């Protein structure tokens, strides 16, 4: 069966499955709409949490970023996975025991302030909407390549699918749909990896294949990859680092604490019946997440190797071996390149008019290499490969069967849709439950709250779709920006609310606003995203090393430190937190039965 037909078939079957689950699990109450009735099994919830947490960034972008960054890309593995561990150990059990299933509800009761709750809702909405841009963009990219439709049409279809199961099913529908999406995305990620690992190294286990020798040689895969890319002026794959060590450290921390503050994942721990079940589902989710995250480094390295193999013809012409390395006749480019050129995510420009595609590092600091490139007649790198296509194009580059390529398309769509649905539910809960019910209309009936939640979700889908169709100038960094906002606003207010019983409402409000402001200011000022009548203005902060070499994507750590500092100072200058709130915090942190055990010991 030809690729296009196979892709339509596989993706169509997954859509039918998602919609069928939504019809079966329609939400009839606010409890079912927000937390699936609180009766989801821990293993099922762990699988749904993994799908909710592993977004298009995890499935589509992460391996691509590791492939392009090499060793330095490990910060995404450490940051995102470590952040989940932080959430599971330090936040989820306590929030579950507190009994408030949204961040704003926790903030309102813990900090005894509707104003604090409203500020947390603003932070949550800014973060969620920023994050969802990346998901809708991922949906558009996947649809445009594999279904033969335009990027815009892909986003419209994605909006319709999410609408069908998120608006009607709520958390109940989303939960069971995400279980199906997890199965689809993990198969789509691991099956091609197994094929390619066996193809390159003879070992079908990708994690082991990464450290194995290439078939027919005594050379390790990573050693050969280092040799191939350094010959073309790139840095060693196993030692590259994004910027300074300080930047890598704060970038990792930003991703870690930003992950721990994701509201759409936190809410999942309220879909299980008990605190013990919440802990259990957190453990299961980590197991399911690890299946993808331990495979990602192998996918990245093998994809990078295959890409360079494509660009290095087996038969070199002209007698100059160096000139032929990384230099492919344009008319001989493989079909996968032709297909991806149509999406605009792979581009070629013949800068020296020789009819060949030169793919090398034209910004290399190795002067001897630069001299050789100039002598060979190269006039600059001519191939631009967007990191987002690495996972999606990997099976095509490796010439895998059409059904595997179609499965990857379904997996990429599943990853984007699962996280988009979770974010939309978080936005809906923030609007209907936290703003309407808790602040503006406390007498709102359950039916009215349910309706307002669905209306809010429809509105959020429309806004997300519009942003996907008209992405802002900083779209490429939206996921990192979203984590930076969560790190600088939501994570600190939750941590202080649980572990600092004297933190008061004034400190919490000031901290959140300070964290949000400093991150947004640094990102926008650094990147220069100011638009007036279509004109983009230069940023207020110039250069890549404006603040101790810290990039905008890593600034969430500084925002979090600012939040903690401002909150502490303000809390010391304002009235102390009420005594009954301090007792409430102590009770949340004390395991049940602990007090009796202590008394018995005496």
Lowest mean per-residue pLDDT among 111-125, 192-206, 587-601: 587-601
pLDDT value at residue 364: 85
Q: Is 318 a residue whose pLDDT tops 70?
A: no
Residue 444: helix, strand or coil by DSSP?
coil
Read off the pLDDT band of 451 (50, 70, 90). confident
The answer to whether position 536 is within a domain reads yes
pLDDT of residue 526: 67
| Residue 475 domain-assigned (yes or no) | yes
pLDDT at 196: 94
Is 379 in the same domain as 290? no
**If pLDDT is split at 50, 70 and 90, which confidence band does 538 have?**
very low
Asked, for residue 596, whether it belongs to a domain, the answer is no
10 assigned to some structural domain: no
Rounded average pLDDT over 58-77 = 84
What residue ranges in 243-349 does DSSP mark as E strands? 327-329, 346-348
Q: Which of 192-196, 381-385, 569-573 has the lowest mean pLDDT?
A: 381-385
Task: Tell me the whole-structure pTM to 2 decimals.
Answer: 0.80
Where does a domain end: 350, 365, 391?
Answer: 391
User: Hunting for tokens 């998901």 — which residue is that?
Assistant: 135
Same domain? 413 vs 508? yes
Higher pLDDT pick, 191 / 1 = 191
Q: Are residues 159 and 136 in the same domain?
A: yes
For residue 600, what pLDDT band results from cuts at 50, 70 and 90? very low
Judge if 158 and 299 occupy the same domain.
Answer: yes
- Quick one: 372 and 410 in the same domain? no
Q: With bands split at pLDDT 50, 70 and 90, how would you rate the model's confidence at 488?
A: very high
Looking at the structure, do residues 414 and 366 belong to the same domain, yes or no? Answer: no
Q: Is the pLDDT of residue 516 over 50?
A: yes
The first and second tokens of residue 468, run together, are: 């996907």
CA distance 447 to 438: 15
In a domain, 11, yes or no: no
Quickly state the pLDDT bin for 435 (edges 50, 70, 90). Answer: confident
At residue 110, the pLDDT reads: 92
pLDDT at 259: 87
Domain identity same for 481 and 557? yes
- Please spell the DSSP secondary structure of 466-499, one letter per residue: HHHHS--TTGGGHHHHHHHHIIIIIHHHHHHHHH
Instruction: Report how many domains make up the chain.
Output: 2
Identify whether the C-beta of residue 313 lies closer than 8 Å to the C-beta of residue 332: yes
Same domain, 363 and 414: no
**Structural domain span for residue 494:** 22-303+396-589
Residues 241 and 317 placed together within one structural domain of the fold: no
Residue 254 — pLDDT band, cuts 50, 70, 90? very high
Any domain includes 17: no
Q: Write down the pLDDT at residue 116.
A: 92
Mean pLDDT, the chain, rounded, equals 79
Which of residues 576 and 159 earns the better pLDDT score? 576
Give the end of a domain, one of 359, 391, 423: 391
Q: Is the dihedral of CA 23, 28, 33, 39 positive or negative?
A: negative
Confidence of residue 28 (pLDDT cuts 50, 70, 90): low
Is residue 470 assigned to a domain? Answer: yes
Pick from 348-357, 408-417, 436-445, 510-519: least confident: 436-445
Q: Name the least confident of 186-200, 359-373, 374-388, 456-470.
A: 456-470
List CB contacts of 182: < 8 A, sequence separation 6 or more: 47, 48, 50, 51, 54, 288, 414, 418
Q: What pLDDT digit, counting tens, does each position of 340-397 carry?
A: 887 777 888 888 888 888 888 888 888 888 888 888 888 888 888 887 788 788 888 8
pLDDT band at 597 (very low <50, low <70, confident <90, very high): very low
Q: Which of 391, 420, 449 is the last residue of a domain?
A: 391
Instruction: Choose the most confident range, by mean pLDDT, from 324-328, 344-348, 390-394, 553-557.
Output: 553-557
Give the CATH number for residue 497: 1.20.1730.10
179 within domain boundaries = yes
Split at pLDDT 50, 70, 90, the class of 329 is confident
**Distance of alpha carbon 11 from alpha carbon 40, whole angstroms:** 27
Same domain, 548 and 451: yes
Indicate whether 430 and 292 sit together in one domain.
yes
Per-residue pLDDT band at 563 (split at 50, 70, 90): very high
Residue 560 CB-density burial (10 A; 0-12 exposed, 13-18 middle, 19+ buried)? buried
Residues 216 and 330 in one domain: no
Percent of the chain at pLDDT exceeding 90: 20
Compare 322 and 68 and report the one with higher pLDDT.
68
């Amino acid at each position: 069966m030809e690729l296009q037909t196979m892709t339509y078939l596989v993706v169509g079957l997954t859509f039918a499955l998602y919609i069928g689950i939504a019809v079966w699990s329609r939400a009839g109450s606010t409890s079912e709409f927000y937390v699936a009735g609180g009766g989801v099994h821990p293993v099922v919830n762990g699988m749904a949490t993994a799908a909710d947490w592993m977004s298009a960034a995890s499935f589509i972008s992460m391996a691509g970023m590791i492939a392009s960054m090499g060793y330095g890309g490990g910060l995404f593995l450490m940051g995102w996975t470590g952040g989940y561990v932080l959430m599971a150990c330090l936040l989820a059990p306590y929030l579950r025991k507190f009994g408030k299933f949204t961040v704003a509800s926790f903030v309102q009761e813990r900090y005894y302030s509707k104003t604090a709750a409203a500020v947390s809702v603003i932070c949550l909405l800014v973060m969620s909407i920023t994050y969802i841009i990346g998901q809708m963009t991922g949906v558009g990219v996947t649809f445009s390549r594999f279904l033969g439709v335009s990027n815009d049409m892909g986003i419209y279809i994605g909006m319709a699918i999410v609408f069908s199961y998120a608006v009607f099913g709520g958390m109940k529908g989303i939960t069971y749909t995400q279980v199906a999406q997890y199965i689809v995305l993990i198969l789509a990620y691991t099956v091609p990896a197994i094929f390619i690992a066996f193809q390159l190294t003879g070992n079908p286990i990708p994690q082991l294949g990464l450290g194995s020798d290439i078939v027919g040689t005594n050379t390790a895969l990573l050693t050969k990859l280092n040799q191939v890319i350094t010959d073309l002026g790139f840095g060693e794959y196993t030692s590259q680092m994004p910027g300074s060590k300080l930047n890598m450290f704060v970038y990792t921390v930003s991703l870690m604490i930003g992950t721990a503050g994701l509201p759409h994942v936190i809410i999942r721990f309220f879909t299980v019946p008990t605190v013990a079940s919440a802990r259990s589902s957190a453990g299961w989710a980590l197991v399911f997440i690890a299946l993808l995250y331990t495979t990602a480094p192998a996918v990245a390295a093998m994809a990078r190797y295959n890409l360079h193999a494509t660009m290095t013809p087996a038969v070199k012409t002209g007698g100059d071996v160096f000139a032929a390395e990384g230099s492919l006749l344009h008319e001989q480019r493989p079909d996968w390149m032709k297909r991806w050129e149509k999406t605009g995510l792979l581009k070629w420009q013949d800068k020296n008019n020789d009819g060949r595609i030169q793919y090398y590092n034209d910004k290399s600091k190795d002067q001897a290499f630069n001299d050789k490139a100039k002598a060979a007649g190269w006039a600059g790198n001519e191939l631009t490969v967007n990191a987002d296509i690495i996972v999606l194009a990997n099976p095509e580059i490796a010439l895998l069967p059409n059904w595997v390529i179609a499965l990857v398309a379904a997996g990429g769509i599943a990853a984007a849709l699962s996280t988009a649905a979770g974010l939309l539910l978080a936005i809906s809960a923030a609007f209907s439950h936290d703003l309407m019910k808790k602040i503006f209309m406390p007498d709102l009936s359950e039916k009215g709250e349910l309706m307002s939640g669905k209306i809010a979700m429809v509105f959020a889908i429309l806004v997300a779709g519009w942003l996907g169709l008209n992405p802002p100038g900083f779209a490429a960094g939206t996921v990192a920006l979203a984590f930076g906002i969560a790190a600088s606003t939501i994570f600190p207010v939750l941590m202080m609310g649980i572990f600092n019983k004297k933190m008061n409402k004034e400190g919490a409000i000031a901290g959140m606003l300070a964290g949000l402001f400093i991150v947004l200011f640094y990102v926008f000022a650094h990147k220069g995203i100011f638009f007036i009548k279509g004109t983009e203005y230069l940023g207020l902060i110039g250069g890549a090393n404006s603040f101790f070499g810290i990039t905008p994507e890593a600034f969430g750590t500084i925002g979090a430190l600012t939040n903690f500092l401002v909150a502490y100072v303000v809390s010391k200058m304002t009235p102390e937190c009420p005594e009954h709130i301090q007792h409430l915090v102590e009770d949340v942190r004390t395991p049940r039965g602990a007090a009796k055990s202590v008394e018995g010991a005496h």
